[in-house]
Each structure stands twice: as C-alpha cells, then as structure tokens.
Chains A and B, each alone.
Chain A
Amino acid sequence: MNFLRQFLGLLPVNLSGAAQRMGSVLTIVVGVACAVGVLISMLAMGVGVERQATGNVRADRVILSSTGARGNQSSIPKDEAVGVRDLAGIKKGVGGAPIVVFDSLIPIEAHRRVTGVRIFFPLVGTTANFTEYRPEIRLTDGRMFRPGLHELIASNPCGHQFTGFEIGDGRPIRGADWIVVGHFEEGQTLQCVVYTDVDALMSAFNRNTYNTVSVMLQSPADFGAFREALQANPTLHLEAQHESEAVRERFIGLKGILDFAGYFVGAIMAIGATLGAVNSLYAIVDSRRREFGTLRAIGFGSAAIIASILCESLLFALPGALLGGALAWAFFNGLAASPFGYSFQLAVTPSLGLIGIAWALGMGMVGGLLPALRAARLPVATALRAS
C-alpha cells in the first residue's frame, strides 16, 4: 500500500520534469518511433503477401494434385482427372454437372510498362465452367474466351503493369497469335493472371496431362467424405488439399523470407533505440541525483523509485510506438511492391500496430532498467552533496 502511494506520488513528479529535459525525451521518442516504424513497414510486406494470396480463398474449394507433387510439377492424366467428377460431396452447377475444373499452368513472360523488365505471369488453361468455380471473377471489359480458340482473358493488373494486354492485342505463343478478348477483376489482387481454354493451351504445348483439378464442394463439411471417396478409389493417385492449405504452401516461403528480414532489421534498430534510451535515462537520473537522494532520505522506498522510472520509460516509449506506426501507415500502407517478381500491396494492419506497441514497451522496459537501478542505489549522502 505504502509502495503504491509512493509510486503514484512519484510518477507525476517524474513526468512534470520531462519538459525541461526535452532533448533526452525526444531521443527516446524518435529512436523508438524509427525502430517501430521500420519493423511495422517491413512486416507489412509479409501481411500484404498473405492478404493477397488468401483474399479469395473459400472453405468449400478443394485442389487436387498428383501425389507428392505441387503446382507445375503435378501431372494428372486426362482419364484420371475425369474420374474425379464421380466422387462424393461435389456441388452441382448449371445443368447438373459437378463443378470440377481442370487446370494447366504455363509461366509466360511479360515486360513491365515503364522499365521493360521481364517478369513471369501464370497463363492458366482452364475449363469453360471455371466461372462457377470462381464466382468472384467479374468481367470488366470485353468478353469471355471461347473454348478451342486462341483467346485470352487477363486480370486488370496485367494491363496496368505490363505491355501487350489491351483488348485485341495479340500475344505470340507457340507460333500463333493469341488474342486478348477480355479483362476481369478478381478481388483486391495485384497479381497478373491470364486464363485461356485448357484444351487449346495443352494442344499448343504438346501436353497431355493437367497440372491440377479443382473441385467445389456442396459445403465445407463435405471435405472429409470427399477425401475418403478419393482415397477409396484405386484409380486416382491424387492428393486433396483445402484451397487455403494449397495457397498457403505457395506464399509461405516468400512470407517467411520477408518476415525474417523484418524482424532482423527491426531487432537491430531496437537495439540501437534501446541504447539511446539507456543513455537518455541515465542523463535524466543523473540530473536529478539530489532529488532522488532527498526522496530516499525522507523515506521513499527503492522499489517505488525503480517502478516510477520504469513507468516513465514506458510512457516515453509509447508515443514513439504510436508515431512510428502512424508514419509506417502514412508512407507504406497500400504501397505496391514486387520483390522477386511477385506483386502485392503492403498492408499496415491493427495487429501490426499491437506488435509495434509490444516491441516499444520491450525497448522501454530494457532501456529503463539500468538507469532505474542506479537511481535507487545512489548512496544518499553523496547524492545530496551533488551539485
């Protein structure tokens, strides 16, 4: 009780002196703001990647690939793929046909509008019913590709970022011109995706196997029954994954690299900011030696002094965190980045703000500890003699 009263009495005294020690306080605030701002900005990349990748994910969609393989490596013979249609739990689309889509994926190169830099985008050959599987696709211009023809529809980011995606543009692929006939919107993604008819694509590229088969279930709860039916069928050597899981496998590597870089740089900056805070708080404690000596002499306990200085340090770090978070949001939220050729928008989210605040409190805590101990341990006699 005594501790609490002393602590509550000391804290306003500590803070009221802040105005006279503006230099030291600003050093802490700016140091923490920079460290938190950088941490949040860098983590915003990982969040942006995740958000973009998972933005369109639905729980009732399942992706099948050949056992032990993923994406481009997966190869599913046509007759095997057709067998998927008869499995249990699949939703029926228009005309009663099960919503099963066959995809074949080929990376094609495009060139950036401004810089001319080469970048790869996925050209996805798909079956005509894919709009039932992907209801989020909305044509914004032109029309759908027609089966069997060399026609493409491109997502809007393609045209914004790369040359040669205007409607009517011909893209030479495999000795023929493939015409862009439509543009579509697919959620908030910046990634360029181009769809075409799967049979036209596979015959052009001499392929006789699909990469993946995608299925829409009647409800997410049917996944278990669907997978059992799949495993029970000896002619199907396929693995089923929730769409979320399949998508996660694709972006987790990039997110891992970006998050590692964020925490690495953030940690180094935090060390710098903490050293700055220690220095500033030492200066503050030193300039108040007589005051602390007096307090100790009139009976204030060490614990209350330590707690009040730690609390002061945390209170200086907090505005730093808010400032850093605000700057990160102002400069980087929504900024388009494309490291390693993958385009996405940085996303500064409230949860990143919380990480930033936790980070800042950590810096304040560690930075305040040594100066607080010094203040509490000052020998009363020498402290009172200090000038």
Chain B
Amino acid sequence: MKFLPLFWSGIWRKPGRTALIFFQVSVAFALFGMLQGLKTGVDHAAAAARADLLIVHSRLSFLAQSLPAGSLEQIKSVPGVKMAVPVDIFGATYQKPTQGLGVVAISLVKDWPAAFTFTVAPEYLAAFQKLRTATLVREELAEKYAWKIGDRIPLMSNTAQMSGSTDWAFDVVGTFRDSDVGSGRDNILINLAYLEEARFLGKGTVQHFNVAISDPKQAATVSDEIDRRFANSPQETKTESLLELAQANAQSIGDMNFLIRAIVAAVLAALLFATANMMMQSIRERRVELAVLKAVGFTDRAVFLLILAEALLVCVTAAAFGLALAALILPLAAALVVGLSMPRIVLAIGLALAIGVALISAAIPAAMAARLKVASALVSG
C-alpha cells in the first residue's frame, strides 16, 4: 500500500490523457455490457419462465390451427393435471391498421388465473365474471391508449360476428399484469363464453388449452401423456411448457450471436491499440523518472509491476464505471425485449476482460520500463 501514492501520481501525471483513456474504456465497456446483457438477459429471462404451465395446441401449427373444445375433458383426466382452461385467440386492430392487438378469450372457470401468468386484482376479477362483454387490458396497453375503466373500446378484426360484422366492442373493467416474457404486450382478455356465442365461424373450437400441473418436474411426462391421448386422431396435439416456448423464443434472437461477438471483438481490438499506445507514450515521457526510481533502488520487477498496476487501476475502474452505466441504461431497452436486466455474470466477464486488456496492453511498455538502462536514460533525458 505504501506504493499507492507512487502510481497515483503516475496516473495523474497527465490528467487530460488519463481522463480521455478512462472515458474511452468506460464507453467500450458500457457497450459491451449492453450487448452482452441483452443476450444473457434474454437467456436468463427465458430460463425463469414457468415450467408448471403447459400449453396444449395443435401439432400442425401453433397459430393457425384450432382444437375441438371437447378435448378439455380428456386433458383434465390426465394424471398430474391440476386445471385446464380453454383459450381462443384472434387478432384485432384499434383505430389504425398499425395498432394491432391480441384478443385472448378465456373460459372463466373457477380460479382460472392459476393456469396463467397473469396477476389480476380481485375486484377486477369479479367485474370480469359479471359482464359478458367485459375485457381486462394489460396495464401497459391501458397506458398506451389511455383507456380507463368504463371505456368501451371498438376493435376491427377478421373474425365475423353472427350479424356478419367484423367489428367488436368490449367494456374495460380492469387491468392485468403478465409476468411471462414471451407473450406480447398488446393483449386484452375477454370471456370465451361471449365470443363463442357471438362469433359466426369456429364455434366449438379453441386455439389452445392452458394447463396447470401439480409438479413442474413432471412437465415432460404430463406433456407426453396428453399428446399420447390425441395421437393418431385428426386433432393431434403438441404440449409444451412455457419454459420450452420461452427458450425457443430466446433462440430466435440467438441467431444474432455472431454479430454480437464480432462487435465485442472490434471494441476490444480498438481498445487494446488505444491503451497500449497510451502506456507507450507515458513510458517514453517518464524515462528520467523511472531511471531515478531504479537509481534509488527499485528493482526491474518493481518497476514492471508499478506500470502494470497503473494500467490495471485505470482500466478496471473505467470498466466498472462503464458497466454500471450499462446497467442503468439496459432497463430502458426493455421496450424491445421485455423483462431485461443485467445479470451478474456479465459484470464478472466484463471486469475479467478489463483486466485482460490492461495486462496485454501494458505488458510491452512495462517490460520496456523494466529493461531501462539507468545511465543512458539519465544522460539522454
């Protein structure tokens, strides 16, 4: 610790230069933190998805195929199934063609929210049960369009009513929150019984069943058993847990890995050049001082370590600052990817990289300083 003032004075020998290199390293690691955080954050969020909720949908297509509502009893009879809720989905637009939203029609069986990732306040839940044209809107969506309880929202869709009209209107009775990362944010919930009665086509079919199981560890067994019951029927099913679905979603972003790695590599390459150049410059200017240190008894080794320590101190504090900045900015990117936060592992990797950059870029200048000939340095200086 007694050397602290020594390398402190080395670092602040040229405050302008140190400040510039500090900010350059900070900026580089802020970028690293954001890119890596995006990737790792998505993976982590996917891994945190619920394993105890299953989606039973048609084997042919997740979106475009429907299942007979009558499959419900067969699904319920599978051991391990706690609850099964029929769900239908259709797309609609609000006011403008570009303002699309998903209408999720749910069969309002007792305790239905237990089979979903939704959180609904009890008073909203009660109101939702009471009114047939009621809708619960996702909090973010209510904010986006400034919908309030009591509003009647008109929607356009390609789902026809009995009258032939494809326009629908629902009464907002409350809001809900959704903890699932994969689901879109522009969703509203309606009563499946009402949809079933009002629609012209598709009566008696649903898009999928939400299934809650008693033991998350049995997810694979229960899924297989459900699919086995419908095997070789015209309505084959595919059952997946929300965990599996989230992982598939994360993989589609994972296609970008190569690009993210290339960017990080470019950032580090530019940084290595900059820090190495900065250290070289610094050593060249301090030949005399370093020679004096050696003359008063500092060993080559001590001088070598002194220079390395200087580079380490600047790089690691700057990287920590940059990563902290990224951790502050990253949640703002949640607009693109829901539920994003910076996992610790990214911080750890970032700091390790900063140490690596410092050691590599300072190695040659430090070796030059260590090999400095006292006499010639003092003479030439």
Contact string, A197-224, partner B, CB cutoff 8 A, digits 1/0?
Answer: 0000000011111010000000000000
Closest to A257 in B: B336
Q: Which residues of B contact A249 (CB under 8 A)?
A: 98
Q: Report the separation of the CA atoms of residues A173 and B96 in the bound assembly, to the nearest whole angstrom.
A: 33
B24 touches A275 (CB 8 A): yes
Contact of B255 among A69, A332, A338 (CB under 8 A): A338
B158 touches A73 (CB 8 A): yes
CB distance from A25 to the nearest CB of B (A): 9
Is residue A11 contacting chain B, with contact meaning CB distance below 8 A?
no
CB distance from B188 to the nearest CB of A (A): 15
Cβ < 8 Å to A, chain B residues 127-179: 156-158, 160, 166
A272 touches B28 (CB 8 A): yes
Is residue A196 contacting chain B, with contact meaning CB distance below 8 A?
no
Cβ < 8 Å to B, chain A residues 316-369: 331-332, 335, 337-341
Contact string, A222-263, partner B, CB cutoff 8 A, digits 1/0?
Answer: 000000000000000000000000000100000001000000
Q: Which residues of A contact B61 (CB under 8 A)?
A: 106-109, 120, 173
Cβ < 8 Å to B, chain A residues 7-38: 23-24, 26-27, 30-31, 33-35, 37-38
Contact of A68 among B17, B20, B30, B97 (CB under 8 A): B97
Contact string, A275-289, partner B, CB cutoff 8 A, digits 1/0?
Answer: 110111011000000
Closest to A338 in B: B255
Is residue A41 contacting chain B, with contact meaning CB distance below 8 A?
yes
Contact of B252 among A72, A278, A341 (CB under 8 A): A341
Size band of the interface chain B makes with A = 35 or more
CB distance from B230 to the nearest CB of A (A): 12
Q: Report the separation of the CA atoms of residues A22 and B96 in the bound assembly, to the nearest whole angstrom.
A: 59
A68 touches B156 (CB 8 A): yes
User: Are A282 and B93 CB-contacts (below 8 A) given A118-B62, A120-B63?
Assistant: no
B276 touches A23 (CB 8 A): yes
A68 touches B266 (CB 8 A): no
Q: Report the separation of the CA atoms of residues A36 and B96 in the bound assembly, to the nearest whole angstrom.
A: 38
Contact string, A31-51, partner B, CB cutoff 8 A, digits 1/0?
Answer: 101110110011000000000
CB distance from B221 to the nearest CB of A (A): 21
Q: Which residues of A contact B64 (CB under 8 A)?
A: 106-108, 123, 205
A119 touches B252 (CB 8 A): yes
Closest to B336 in A: A257
Is residue A297 contacting chain B, with contact meaning CB distance below 8 A?
no
B270 touches A206 (CB 8 A): no
Q: Which residues of A contact B63 (CB under 8 A)?
A: 107, 109, 120
Is residue A70 contacting chain B, with contact meaning CB distance below 8 A?
yes
Q: Which residues of B contact A26 (CB under 8 A)?
A: 273, 277
Q: Report the separation of the CA atoms of residues A337 and B277 in the bound assembly, to the nearest whole angstrom.
A: 36
B27 touches A272 (CB 8 A): yes
Is residue A180 contacting chain B, with contact meaning CB distance below 8 A?
no
CB distance from B350 to the nearest CB of A (A): 15
Count residues on chain A whose CB falls below 8 Å from chain B CBs. Answer: 63
Is residue B21 contacting chain A, with contact meaning CB distance below 8 A?
yes
Contact of B281 among A23, A109, A211 (CB under 8 A): A23
Cβ < 8 Å to A, chain B residues 253-278: 253, 255-256, 258-259, 262-263, 266-267, 269-271, 273-274, 276-278
A339 touches B277 (CB 8 A): no
Is residue B234 contacting chain A, with contact meaning CB distance below 8 A?
yes
Is residue B286 contacting chain A, with contact meaning CB distance below 8 A?
no
Is residue B23 contacting chain A, with contact meaning CB distance below 8 A?
yes
A175 touches B235 (CB 8 A): yes
Is residue A271 contacting chain B, with contact meaning CB distance below 8 A?
yes
User: Are A279 and B274 CB-contacts (below 8 A) given A72-B91, A205-B64, A265-B263?
Assistant: yes
Is residue B202 contacting chain A, with contact meaning CB distance below 8 A?
yes
Q: Report the separation of the CA atoms of residues A207 and B90 in the bound assembly, to the nearest whole angstrom.
A: 14
Cβ < 8 Å to B, chain A residues 47-90: 68-70, 72-75
B97 touches A73 (CB 8 A): yes
- Between-chain CB contacts (< 8 Å), 25 pairs: A30-B273, A34-B266, A38-B266, A42-B263, A68-B93, A68-B97, A72-B158, A73-B100, A74-B158, A108-B61, A118-B248, A172-B59, A172-B236, A175-B235, A208-B201, A265-B31, A269-B267, A272-B271, A279-B278, A280-B274, A283-B281, A331-B262, A339-B256, A340-B253, A341-B252
- Chain A residues packing against B (C-beta within 8 Å): 23-24, 26-27, 30-31, 33-35, 37-38, 41-42, 68-70, 72-75, 106-109, 115, 117-120, 123, 172-175, 205-209, 211, 249, 257, 265, 268-269, 271-273, 275-276, 278-280, 282-283, 331-332, 335, 337-341
Q: A173-B61, A283-B281 are in contact. List 18 more A-B contacts (CB 8 A).
A: A34-B270, A68-B93, A73-B91, A73-B92, A73-B93, A75-B160, A107-B61, A123-B64, A172-B60, A175-B235, A205-B64, A265-B31, A272-B271, A275-B21, A276-B270, A332-B262, A335-B258, A337-B256
